[in-house]
Chains A and B, each alone.
Chain A
Amino acid sequence: MKTKTFNIIFFTVLALCVVFTVAHFIYDINAYKHCSIIYFIAKELW
Chain B
Amino acid sequence: MTTKSLLIKQISAILVVVIVFFAFNYSVYMLVTNRLGNNFSDTSQAKMVDVEKYLPHNPESDLVRIDSSLKLNDNLPVLDGAAALLPVYAAFVDNVYPKGSVTFESGNFSDDNFYGENFATDSKMQYKNTVRGYKAIVDGTTDILFCAAPSAEQVQYAKDNGVELEYVPVGKEAFVFFVNKNNPVDNLTADEIRKIYSCEYKNWKEVGGANRTINPVSRLEGSGSQSAMNAFMGEAEFGIKSPLAITGASIGFSFRYYMDGVVENEDVKMLSLNGVYPSKENIENNTYPVIAQFYAIYRADNENENIPVLIDWILSDEGQKVIEDTGYVRIN
The chain A residues found within 8 Å of chain B, CB to CB, are 1, 6, 9-10, 13-14, 17-18, 20-21, 24-25, 27-28, 30-46
Contact = CB atoms under 8 A, between A and B. Distances in A.
Closest 6 CB pairs of A and B: A42-B267, A31-B44, A17-B21, A46-B182, A31-B36, A34-B46
Interface in B177-225: 178-183, 217, 219-220
8 contacts: A14-B17, A34-B44, A34-B46, A37-B250, A39-B39, A41-B178, A43-B34, A44-B250
Contacts of B267: 42-43
Given A17-B17, A28-B33, A35 B25 contact: no
Contacts of B44: 30-31, 34-35
A1 to B, nearest CB: 5
Contacts of B18: 13, 17
A31 B45 CA distance: 8
Given A1-B6, A39-B38, A43-B37, 11 more contacts: A21-B24, A28-B33, A28-B36, A30-B44, A31-B36, A35-B37, A36-B48, A40-B35, A41-B179, A41-B217, A44-B180
Contacts of A31: 33, 36, 44
B300 interface: no
B25 A10 contact: no
Interface in B37-75: 37-39, 44-48
A20 B178 contact: no
Contacts of A37: 217, 219, 250, 252, 254
User: Which of A6, A13, A39 counts the most B-chain CB atoms under 10 A from its CB?
Assistant: A39
A46 B183 contact: yes
A41 B44 CA distance: 15
B302 interface: no
Contacts of B7: 1
Main secondary structure of the interface of B (DSSP, over half): mixed
B25 A21 contact: yes
B24 A28 contact: no
Contacts of B33: 24, 27-28, 31
Contacts of A14: 17
Nearest to B252: A37
Given A1-B7, A20-B21, A35 B249 contact: no
B240 interface: no
B274 interface: no
Nearest to A25: B28
A40 B36 contact: yes
B14 A38 contact: no
A17 B25 CA distance: 10
Contact of A13 (B14, B34, B47, B268): B14
Given A17-B18, A28-B33, A40 B265 contact: no
B327 to A, nearest CB: 16
